[in-house]
Amino acid sequence: MAVIKANEADVRLLARLMRAEAEGDGKLGMLMVGNVGVNRVKARCLDFEDINTINRMVFQSPGGFEATQKGYFYQRAREKEIRLARRSIGGERNHPASYALWFFRPEGSCPEQWFGQWNTGRFKSHCFFTPTESECQSVFETF
């Protein structure tokens, strides 16, 4: 059962984003990018009040993803990324990205906070940041 609305084009678009942002971090890294994407579509808070579709989430500007804003969002989704995107849309969550709305790839260690959001952990090259429940209840709602 999907936790956000998604048609086949949406699944493929999320899969492309997952590949562009985290292919080097493997399946789990791509799933975590999927978590962040799904969380942004679910969120009705902070920078994501009007982000209610996968397309709007992927191409959000400003505040969107580096892959779509800096030009490395050109590769098609392969079957393995499409399967991973379906898992994310289906509600699979992976720590430290379970409730994260942001991630980035720092040069060194993860900062404790990033734009006022708390670090929930690192997976390979990416640090993940999650709002508090009082800031963004909709991200923490069960499916």
Ramachandran sector of residue 91 (left: φ over 0; alpha: ψ -120 to 50; beta: rest): left
Predicted confidence (pLDDT) per residue in 27-38, tens digit: 999 999 999 999
Q: What is the pLDDT of residue 73?
A: 84
Q: What is the pLDDT of residue 50?
A: 94
Mean pLDDT of 100-111: 95
Phi/psi for 126 (5° steps) reads -110, 140
- 110-123 core/surface letters (b: 16 or more CB in 10 A; e: else): beeebeebebbbeb
The answer to whether residue 143 scores a pLDDT higher than 70 is no
Smallest CA-to-CA distance from 103 within 118, 89, 90 is with 118
CB 27 within 8 A of CB 87: no
The answer to whether residue 71 scores a pLDDT higher than 80 is no
What are the residue boundaries of the structural domains of the chain, listed by start?
A: 8-140
Q: Please state the pTM of the whole predicted model.
A: 0.95
CB 123 within 8 A of CB 96: yes
Identify the three-state secondary structure at position 42.
helix
Q: Report residue 116's pLDDT band, with 50, 70 and 90 as the boundaries.
A: confident
Q: What is the pLDDT of residue 135?
A: 93
Predicted confidence (pLDDT) per residue in 2-21, tens digit: 999 999 999 999 999 999 99
CB 44 within 8 A of CB 139: no
Between CA 18 and CA 25, with CA 19 as vertex, the angle to 5 degrees is 90
Q: What is the pLDDT of residue 1?
A: 77
The answer to whether residue 68 scores a pLDDT higher than 70 is yes
Tell me, which fold does domain 8-140 have in CATH?
Arc Repressor Mutant, subunit A (1.10.10)
Average pLDDT, the chain: 94
CB 101 within 8 A of CB 39: yes
Q: What is the pLDDT of residue 28?
A: 98
